[in-house]
Structure 1
């Protein structure tokens, strides 16, 4: 399959290569700070929770399915 050297090189490349992911932070902060009621901030927080929770639920369901198949 893959050699240890290839996997190590791939990991080093991912760590060393910078990813510029700061583009939206200033925009979101400006929108949230300019609103006085806080409804947008609440919506952003809810969106973050939904985006964070869905992959965990899917992975937990996958592991439960695998566990059930192995046990039977």
Structure 2
């Protein structure tokens, strides 16, 4: 049988796991939402109906430019995480 301390520890672990799962789901929902980014100057210059395709191209360009820093930061965090995992393996 499990002691009370072990049960409590197991319960805390499962709560942390569910919390991580919830935050991942929340992050995924926000990440998958479609973004329409456009600065005020671009919107004013491309607002008429004749430039519909150009306006969509400008929007896509802005979104791609915005995504690059996030990808770079994610890469740095992944590299740090991987280094920590290797240190844990060496210690054990």
Q: TM-score range by the shorter chain?
A: 0.5 to 0.7
Q: Structure 2, unaligned stretches of length 5 or more?
A: 1-38, 87-92
Deviation (angstroms), 1:34? 3.7
Q: Structure 1, unaligned stretches of length 5 or more?
A: 1-23
Question: Structure 1 runs of 4+ off > 2 angstroms?
Answer: 27-31
Higher relative contact order (CA 8 A, sep 6+): 2
Out of 68, 74, 83, the position equivalent to 1:54 is: 68
Q: TM-score, normalised by structure 1?
A: 0.55
* Cα RMSD after superposing both structures: 1.8
Once the two structures are superposed, residues 1-36 of structure 1 have per-residue CA deviations (whole angstroms, 9 ceiling, x without a partner) of xxxxxxxxxxxxxxxxxxxxxxx73x4233202451
Q: How many residues align?
A: 48
Larger helix share, 1 or 2: 2
Q: TM-score, normalised by structure 2?
A: 0.45
Larger Rg: 2
